[in-house]
Amino acid sequence: MQQISSNKTLISVVGPTAIGKTSLAIALANYYNTEIISCDSRQFFKEMKIGTAVPSNEELSQAKHHFIQNISIQDKYSVGDFERDGLSFLDNFFKQHDNCIMVGGSGLYEKAITVGFDSFPDVDPSVREKLNSELEEFGIEKLQQELYQVDPNYYQEVDIQNKQRVIRALEIYRGSGFPFSHFRNQDLNKRPFNIIKIGLELPREEMYDRINRRVDIMLDEGLLDEAKKLFPLKDLNALQTVGYRELFDYFDHKIDLNFAIEEIKKNTRRFAKRQMTWFKKDEAVNWFSPNDVEKIIEFLNDKMTY
């Protein structure tokens, strides 16, 4: 990728789900007369609109968004693919613009753009085959226990219900003898643009209340019907996602609807807690309340180099 002069700035807006990242990103995009990249790994998928809280049509009309519902759940799309595509987009975008906004709660995908994708060793395919066999025979719990024992750091960060992530981490460990987290602390390529990170936070009870209300709104908007249409594809990796997994259990007659809804709220709150754990470890993040829009703009203007 060609060198870009240092007066180009990517503003990365991070924080837990339902905190108000979209509203802030739109306000910043309008203030700086620029556009928005989504680094939400589930909002990429066309079929998952309600359950991933894709910006509304009204919000999308207020600022141009990229990497929103641009692929299918049946497409294979990795964090490495996003790093390549996102950097390519910025390479072109910064030829015409000084600033760009990136927003999302997927920490690994945000890191892929702002820091770089970690370099992992090649592992014999038989290792993954064996892990998939163990998953089928013993279930995800046994693999979760192994991950906790061999890589407690990554265990605390990853969605342990995401089978593919758990298998990937164990694949690296078994194939190399080093924990997955070992390969995520390497020196990576410096980005040829400035990066300013803005984090949004609220007191826990207020954040949890927002999450509960967000789930109720999703249900009012038709989440149940959306999940029902996707139910035949429930084993796809993209659908191993809070809000869908619980409703799939309802459709499978494993739980009733009220319990499924409460599970969605509980699991979303847990997910938000993991998101905060991830982003709080990043010392580059500057923390604000979602209502501090004027303070955030003042802070950004002080930081920017023109």
The reply, when asked if residue 268 is annotated as ligand binding, is no
Q: Residue 112, by phi and psi: left (phi above 0), alpha (psi -120 to 50) or beta?
A: alpha
Enumerate residues 6+ apart whose C-beta is below 8 A from 10: 90, 99, 100, 101, 102, 113, 114, 191, 193, 194, 195, 196
Instruction: Provide the sign of the torsion angle of the four alpha carbons 227, 229, 230, 234, taken in this order.
Output: positive
Instruction: List all residues 6 or more positions away from 137 whose beta carbon is below 8 Å from its beta carbon.
Output: none
Task: Flag whether 243 is marked binding.
Answer: no
Q: Is 199 flagged in the annotation as binding?
A: no
Torsion of Cα atoms, 18 then 20 then 21 then 23, to 10°: 130
234 is in an annotated binding site: no
Which residues are paired to 13 by β-bridges? Answer: 103, 198
Q: Is 21 annotated as a binding residue?
A: yes
CB atoms inside a 10 Å sphere around CB 115: 18
Q: Is 6 exposed, middle or buried (0-12, 13-18, 19+ CB in 10 A)?
A: exposed
Is the Cβ–Cβ distance between 36 and 99 less than 8 Å? no
Cβ proximity of 65 and 36 under 8 Å? yes
284 is in an annotated binding site: no
Annotated binding-site residue? 8:
no
Q: Is the dihedral of CA 207, 208, 209, 211 positive or negative?
A: positive
20 in a labelled binding site: yes
Q: Binding site for ATP: which residues? A: 15-22
Q: Binding site for substrate: which residues? A: 17-22
Q: Binding site: which residues? A: 15-22
